[in-house]
């Protein structure tokens, strides 16, 4: 099994968390996005959209982190099962994963880009921060009376984790003002699969 990835990519980190939870061994091939390796013909044969991550499992080639993670959960169901059995709850978790990707991770990436840009777009930065802040408020409500976003640790928790770990560097604090999210973040980082990523965002 080989994961094509870039170290700073939060979507690649999503996949790495699932691989760790499933206790799967894999090789890593770094695709240097700064050098444009994702646009090369060799990589586009794996993913015509030219994006990381890509997982190659024997003859199976999968791209898009959410699809990769569902494949890993289906193909390697134990340990642990990362989607609930109930169809309605499974749909809710999939909606949360999509929300995490679109309304949390992408805006967090936009904040990072704007903060590092010599020509910062303040309007774009403010819009991205508002999206992340709204998402944190939604998570605070979703986590009321819960340890995780479903009855057990699941793909939705994993989808939020990489950007969540990174928020401090973006000037967004997860503290006692959002006690459910604060406690959830502590539970997530206590898991070896997620805690190991902290060094990548330190």
Which residues are known catalytic residues?
A: 9
Residue 1 CB neighbour total at 10 angstroms: 14
Q: What is the DSSP letter of 45?
A: T
CB 62 within 8 A of CB 68: yes
CB 136 within 8 A of CB 100: no
**Which residues on neighbouring strands pair with residue 29, listed in sequence order?**
4
Q: What is the DSSP letter of 102?
A: I
Report how far apart, in Å, the C-alpha atoms of 39 and of each of 29, 33, 45, 181 are. Answer: 15, 9, 10, 38
Q: What gap in Å lies between CA 127 and CA 27, rounded to an integer? A: 38
The first and second tokens of residue 107, run together, are: 């805006």
Q: What would you report as the CA-atom Rg of the chain, rounded to the nearest whole angstrom?
A: 17
């Amino acid at each position: 099994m080989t994961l094509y990835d870039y170290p700073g990519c939060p979507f690649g980190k999503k996949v790495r968390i699932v691989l760790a939870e499933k206790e799967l061994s894999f090789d890593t091939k770094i695709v240097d996005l700064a050098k444009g390796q994702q646009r090369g013909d060799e990589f586009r044969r794996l993913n015509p959209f030219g994006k990381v991550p890509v997982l190659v499992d024997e003859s199976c080639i999968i791209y898009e982190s959410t699809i990769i993670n569902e494949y890993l959960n289906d193909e390697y169901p134990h340990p642990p099962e990362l989607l609930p059995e109930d169809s309605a709850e499974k749909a809710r978790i999939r909606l949360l994963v999509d929300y995490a990707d679109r309304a949390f991770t992408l805006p967090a990436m936009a904040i990072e880009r704007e903060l590092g840009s010599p020509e910062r777009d303040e309007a774009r930065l403010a819009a991205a921060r508002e999206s992340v802040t709204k998402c944190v408020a939604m998570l605070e409500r979703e986590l009321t009376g819960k340890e995780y976003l479903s009855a057990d640790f699941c793909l939705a928790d994993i989808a939020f984790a990489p950007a969540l770990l990174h928020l401090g560097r973006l000037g967004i604090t997860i503290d006692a003002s959002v006690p459910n999210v604060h406690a959830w973040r502590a539970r997530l980082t206590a898991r070896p699969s997620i805690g190991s990523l902290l060094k990548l965002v330190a």
